[in-house]
Amino acid sequence: MAKETVNKHSEFEELVENPDALAERLSHTDDFVKKNKSILLGVFAAIAAIVVAGFLYFNHRTTQNQEAQEAMFQATYYFEADSLNKALNGDGQYKGFLAIADEYSGTDAANLANFYAGVALLKTGKFAEAQQHLEEFESDDYLLQARAYSLIGDALLEQGKNKEAADQYMKAANHNANPFFSPQYIMKAGIAYEADNNYKAAAEAYDKIVTGYVTAAELNDAKKYKARAEALAGGAN
């Protein structure tokens, strides 16, 4: 490595101290450029195209997100007013959550539109569609993401998919588990396991509250439900 460094240093000194050597090197470089002019131009053009394309894409996504945010304002207003059909499908002038999620896919607004659409579809009894939109939603907010998981569980439960619903509720409970919301989700999981006639799993779910969330508002119910589930599990054996 040291020898290579010395050789490079000597070469540099030769170019600086010997104008003829420098001229010869530049001449070789010039020949290379002339011989490969079309290739170099192509490379530079490709780089420029990538930069321009990236800039245009960024501007396009920013514009799309702004448009989607504006559309979300009216849809959210209808949602809060419980005008769920208009919230989902728009009013002829403003888009609804379904169109926003579809037309502005990939934007933050479209992501949130999927959440709202899922909730609205649940309320209108369209459970499979609700599940689909809620599964499209992703959030860094652990409380909101856990809520989405629980709502997916609700959609599954309404479709008679009791085990899948229970598993989804446990997923919600374990997503950054906390003493405020996790016990609620675990209770729902236990009830779903019971609906699936899996009383052993139900008892284990309730026990998680009894042993792990002793200050939870659900504690007393969890104790009663646990005793019932254990009795039913014993009777099934």
* 114-170 pLDDT, tens digit each: 999 999 999 999 999 999 999 999 999 999 999 999 999 999 999 999 999 999 999
Which residues does 128 contact at the CB level (< 8 Å), separation at least 6? 155, 159
- For residue 99, what are the CA distances in angstroms to 63, 69, 70, 96, 224? 17, 13, 13, 6, 46
- Tokens found for residue 170: 């446990």
Question: What is the rounded distance in angstroms from the CA atom of residue 237 to the CA atom of residue 218?
Answer: 28
Q: What is the CATH number of domain 140-237?
A: 1.25.40.10
pLDDT value, residue 184:
98
Which residues does 87 contact at the CB level (< 8 Å), separation at least 6? 75, 76, 78, 79, 96, 97, 116, 120
Mean per-residue pLDDT, 215-225: 97
Under DSSP, is residue 99 helix (H, G, I), strand (E, B) or coil?
A: helix
Does residue 213 carry a pLDDT above 50?
Answer: yes
Q: Where are the domains positioned within the chain? A: 66-138, 140-237
Under DSSP, is residue 106 helix (H, G, I), strand (E, B) or coil?
A: coil
pLDDT value, residue 15:
40
Question: What is the rounded distance in angstroms from the CA atom of residue 151 to the CA atom of residue 157?
Answer: 10
* 85-96 pLDDT, tens digit each: 999 999 999 999
- Tokens found for residue 235: 């009777």
Q: What is the mean pLDDT of the chain?
A: 84
Question: What is the rounded distance in angstroms from the CA atom of residue 135 to the CA atom of residue 120?
Answer: 14
pTM (two decimals): 0.74
